Amino acid sequence: MKLYDVARSGNCHKVRMLLAQLSLPHEIVAVDLPGGETKLPAFLKLNPRGQVPVLEDAGEIIWDSQAILVYLARKQSDETWLPTAPLTMARAMQWLAVSENEILYGLARARAALHFKAPWSVADSQALGTQALILLETHLTQREWLAASHPTIADIACYPYVALAPRAGLSLDAYPAIVAWIRRIQAWPNYTGMPGMF
């Protein structure tokens, strides 16, 4: 199993987190994002969208962090990381949607604009990121995990850019339920972090 990876990418970090939790042997293939490797023909054969992460498993190629999380979770014999009960699965999918909308276009883009010269509006991104934090805080005030009574890929999908919120210029001081959730995740066996996380 190979993961085509950029170390500073929160989307790649999601996949690294689940691989660690599942104790799945894998090879990390570092991709030179600043050097434009994702736009080269060889990489575009792996992912025509020209994005990381990409997972290669037994000759099959899966791209998009959410799709990879679903694939890895479903490969397991139990339903821990992605339950198949209709309501629980729907709840997990809801939070995957939040991770790819408010969190990505808010927190991730604000971080990218502030630190990686991305062309997005910091103010607009932070406003959307704040909406995401309020949504999460309200939800986590009454529960420990996002979609079930235990961690699922919903938690992994939302975690990286929320834990990187300070790098997006947004303090987590006003969000104690989020901070407690972050600390619960960071206490997992085989937890793997990345620089700049809360």
| pLDDT bucket at 198, cuts 50 / 70 / 90 | confident
Is the pLDDT at 180 greater than 80, yes or no? yes
- CATH-assigned architecture of domain 86-186: Up-down Bundle (1.20)
Which pLDDT value is given to residue 107? 98
HEC profile for the chain?
CEEEECCCCHHHHHHHHHHHHHCCCCEEEECCCCCCHHHCHHHHHHCCCCCCCEEEECCEEEECHHHHHHHHHHHCCCCCCCCCCHHHHHHHHHHHHHHHHHHHHHHHHHHHHHHCCCCCCHHHHHHHHHHHHHHHHHHHCCCCCCCCCCCCHHHHHHHHHHHCHHHHCCCCCCCHHHHHHHHHHHCCCCCCCCCCCC
Q: Judge whether 2-75 and 86-186 match in fold.
A: no
Which pLDDT value is given to residue 150? 97
CATH annotation of 2-75: 3.40.30.10
**Domain boundaries along the sequence of the chain:** 2-75, 86-186
